[in-house]
Amino acid sequence: MNQLNIAKFGGTSVANHAAMQNCARIVKNNPLTRVVVVSASAGVTNCLVELANTEMTTAQIDTVIKQIEDIEQAILRDLGSPAMVEEKLQALFEQLHELAHHEEILQRPDLKDILLSVGERMSSLLFSEVLNQLDCTADNFDARKVIKTDSQFGQGIPNIERIAEQAQKLLSPELARAVIVTQGFVGSDESDKTTTLGRGGSDYTAALLAEALDAQTCEIWTDVTGVYTTDPRITDKARPLPELSFDEAAEMATFGAKVLHPATMVPALRKNIRVFVGSSKEPEKGGTWIAKDCQQQPHYRAITRRKDQVMVTVKTPKMLYAPGFLSEIFAIIAKHNISVDLVTTSEISVSMTIDNPPNSVREKLNKATIEDLRNLCEVVVENGYDLVTVVGNNMHSEAGVSSRIFTAMQNHNLRMICYGANPHNMSFLVNGSHSDDVVRELHKELFE
Ligand code: ADP
Ligand code: ASP
Ligand code: MG
């Protein structure tokens, strides 16, 4: 393991020049930080997603492009418009124009991913210059050379061995010379076509690079002072957690704590890399350290909420005493690369929940999957649910742990209840319009 730290800065942290300067100071203050991963500036990826997925007139497209250009131009101006940076930014603007107006953009997932990659490619270019202007030698590096994935555009699956190979070959030799600034979220497949890792994927990039470079720590700098007992946007009673275990953090990320991309903890766990989460605006306030073991293992650590869940119930009398039926259902689900979260079964039916954020790759996969399932059995699809999860420790093994949770939720209709397959979570499917209240009431009972 190397004395190396990877620092990742999210969208709000690199939203403008002043925010980028805060980040640059954080980088400069830790000599162990040799790799920096940046997101696109706040709002840019949303605009790019809109351009990639929405039917628009030429004028509407130009309006969205202008929103992006205004953000980037303002940063460039604050940097004093150095010619080299301006020229490179201009080339990216041209690519942005070309792709946004491309007649096949709405149909071609491969083109969409090139378009989506432009946000991170612009912010990393500008952030390298911010570092250089603060006398910190920095180089902008194309993440696509290292983050190798399969060819699932929009949701590329990283190839861990190839990433390690490329990182050792291309990144390691550079680290003594300069701080390497690279793009989160962006990768490429084996034929070097641009791919992306799914929304929020920059955290995952940072963890993958930390793993590939044998780093000791990985810092996720964002707009909150750590991982909280629940999303501070749901209740102002949420408070930051000084420590979390890998297992707890993985559950939180999986079950909707947006502060960490769902897969972030996977590389960290494999290589025992400690992960820090803190605020780039207020680094002095500290944050959350996520490590293999924690000092304390409370029954209740946090509450998460994941929106936009669909519940799919498959039903057929053929299931009665028919071994192998479940495997047929899950074979279809596996074929479409869908991950199921909660599952309950009865004599002739199986209900499961899947993630379904609007406009996502998932949403499309789900539609195709449901069609396939219909060939096998009756399928009922229910929308409008959120998944609320309590994350903690030893939740199965001690009396009273779950009853306290149920007492707090007695006024709510719980559509589905699942004890996790491990002792770290308990999840409920609730009506989407009630989930704020459910989280607040649970938080009050368990943490206030
Ligand atoms: P970034 O752009 O830095 O990646 P994100 O918006 O992806 O930032 O993630 C940070 C946000 O995650 C916070 O502003 C907060 O609203 C949300 N969040 C959800 N759950 C939690 C939690 N348990 N602790 C902290 N933040 C959370
Ligand atoms: N820019 C990408 C997004 O907004 C990735 C990230 O910020 O992590 O989803
Ligand atoms: Mg994020």
Model pLDDT for residues 332-357, shown as the tens digit of each residue: 988 888 888 888 888 788 899 988 87
Q: What is the mean pLDDT of the chain?
A: 94
Nearest protein CA to atom 12 of ligand 1, as residue: 259
How confident is the model over 290-314, as a mean pLDDT? 94
What is the predicted pLDDT for the residue at 367? Answer: 82
Atom from ligand 1 closest to the CA of residue 257 = 20
Ligand 3 midpoint to CA 332 (Å): 31
Which residues are near ligand 3, the ion (C-beta closer than 5 Å)? 10, 200
pLDDT of residue 319: 66
Predicted TM-score (pTM) of the model is 0.94
Proportion of the chain above pLDDT 90, given as a percent: 79
pLDDT at 268 exceeding the cut of 90: yes
On the question of pLDDT at 169 being above 70, the answer is yes
Please give the pLDDT value at position 201.
97
**Measured between alpha carbons, how far apart are the two ends of the chain, in Å?**
40
With 70 as the cut, is the pLDDT of residue 254 above it?
yes
Q: What is the percentage of the chain residues whose pLDDT exceeds 70?
A: 98
Both tokens assigned to 93: 């603007």
pLDDT at res. 322 = 67
Kindly indicate the confidence band of residue 321, based on its pLDDT and cuts at 50, 70 and 90: low
Pocket of ligand 1 from Cβ distances under 6 Å: 10-13, 39, 200, 222-224, 227-228, 230-233, 257-259, 302
Fold of the domain built from segment(s) 302-447? VC0802-like (3.30.2130)
The ligand whose atoms approach the alpha carbon of 280 most closely is: 1
From-to residues of CATH 3.30.2130.10 in the chain: 302-447
Nearest to 9 by CA among 38, 42, 45, 44: 38
Question: Of 185, 194, 205, which is best to mutate to test ligand 2, by the most ligand atoms within 8 angstroms of its C-beta?
Answer: 185
Question: Quick one: pLDDT at residue 361?
Answer: 66
Site to probe by mutation for ligand 2, drawn from 47, 51, 117, 202 as the one with most ligand atoms within 8 Å of Cβ, is: 202
Domain 2-223 has CATH 3.40.50.620: no
Q: How confident is the model at residue 399 (pLDDT cuts 50, 70, 90)?
A: confident
pLDDT tens readout for residues 41-71: 999 999 999 999 999 999 999 999 999 999 9
Cα-to-centroid distance, 227 and ligand 1 (Å): 8
Question: How far from the centroid of its chain's Cα atoms is residue 87's Cα?
Answer: 31
Span 365-376, pLDDT tens digits: 778 888 899 988
Residues 94, 96, 102, CA angle at the centre, nearest 5°?
100
List, for residues 418-445, the tens digit of each pLDDT value: 887 788 899 999 999 999 999 999 999 9
Residues of the chain with CATH 3.40.1160.10: 2-223
Cβ-Cβ contacts under 8 Å for 120 (sequence gap 6 or more): 38, 39, 40, 143, 183, 184, 185, 186, 202
Q: How far is the CA of 296 from the centre of ligand 3 (A)?
A: 27
11 lines ligand 2 (CB under 6 A): yes
Q: 225: helix, coil or strand? A: coil
Pocket of ligand 1, candidates 248, 251, 258, 281: which has the most ligand atoms within 8 Å of its Cβ, to mutate? 258
Query: How far, in Å, from the CA of 256 to the mean position of ligand 1?
Result: 10
